[in-house]
Amino acid sequence: MGLTTQEMITALSPHICVQDLNVFYGDTQVLRNVNLLIPRRQITAIIGPSGCGKSTLLRSLNRLLELTAGVKLSCKILVDEIDIMDPSVDVTAIRKKLSLIAQSPNPLPMSIRDNVAYGPRINGMQILREPNGVDGVVERCLRSTGLWDEVRDRLNGPASRLSIGQQQRLCLARALAVDPEGLLCDEPTSALDPISADRVEKLLKSLSTDYTIVWVTHTLRQARRIADNVVFLFMGHVVEQGPAESFFNSPKEATTKAYLEGAFS
């Protein structure tokens, strides 16, 4: 294969490294001393009972959390060895690198084509300047999420008219259009019907060869199906994290064992 030493080091080093993350909503502390390593191009599932801060954790990875009023956080988050929490860093570039897929599909108030093209347009991406740049990007991304054949005749129609499963795939296509390195997925299938959920799940699995995926899920069964690595978050603490196999088969912590056995959910 012939990777240079540098490339090998990059490939083996964690993509995202979270150090001592503490998050407060006003006076309530939601995340305590979270330390995480997220490997490159694998699916890292964040599991745990609802209300434990999983979504908060996800949104701090690309600094989307700052949009919410009253949030205070302190930490270092290294993406490719660069601390993204540093004030001199361009926040919009980080969000391009790690793109968020929300739990409820949130299409923008525009046509399907404009939804996908939105990311590249606002970031002034090079690709748009090529002839057929926009259409090329739109087609490529819609194909990767399996939407192309379903919507090719109504690209100028409003995105809001799609079914909810299609909308979520659109949001995925939209995220891919900005050429991210990673996808942060907040329970991406929980709002969908079983058939669409299955489709999206398989889609994300196939994308994990090219993108780092951080996947928040509250169903253990899904986690078992998809995860390469697992992070167990409970009451704002990281209780345990590690490769999926050892996590599910031989958990170290008592709380983990209890959760896996369904003692609470």
Binding site for other proteins (CB under 8 A): 62, 64, 67, 69, 92-93, 95-96, 99-100, 102, 104, 106-110, 118-119, 122-124, 171, 174-175, 178
| 93 vs 127, beta carbon nearer other proteins | 93
Minimum CB distance to other proteins, residue 55 (Å): 11
| 23 vs 178, beta carbon nearer other proteins | 178
Minimum CB distance to other proteins, residue 117 (Å): 11
* Nearest one of 69, 78, 80, 66 to 17, comparing CA atoms: 78
Minimum CB distance to other proteins, residue 100 (Å): 4
Minimum CB distance to other proteins, residue 146 (Å): 20
| 64 vs 79, beta carbon nearer other proteins | 64
Minimum CB distance to other proteins, residue 18 (Å): 19
| Long-range contacts of residues 144-148, Cβ cutoff 8 Å, at least 24 apart | 144/173, 144/176, 144/207, 145/169, 145/170, 145/172, 145/173, 145/176, 145/203, 146/199, 146/203, 147/173
Cα distances (angstroms) measured from residue 114 to each of 110, 125, 175, 212: 6, 15, 13, 26
| 118 vs 248, beta carbon nearer other proteins | 118
Helix, strand, coil shares of the chain, percent, nearest 5, are 40, 25, 35
Minimum CB distance to other proteins, residue 137 (Å): 13
Minimum CB distance to other proteins, residue 240 (Å): 29
DSSP letter string, 37-49: EE-TTSEEEEE-S
| 168 vs 256, beta carbon nearer other proteins | 168
| 200 vs 239, beta carbon nearer other proteins | 200
CB atoms within 10 A of CB 107: 19
Angle between helices 164-177 and 112-122 (to 10 degrees): 20
| 156 vs 265, beta carbon nearer other proteins | 156
* Nearest one of 238, 264, 239 to 252, comparing CA atoms: 239
* Distance separating alpha carbons of residues 40 and 208, to the nearest angstrom: 9
Amino acid identity, position 145: T
In a 10 Å sphere around its CB, with 0-12 CB exposed, 13-18 middle and 19+ buried, how is residue 23 labelled?
Answer: buried
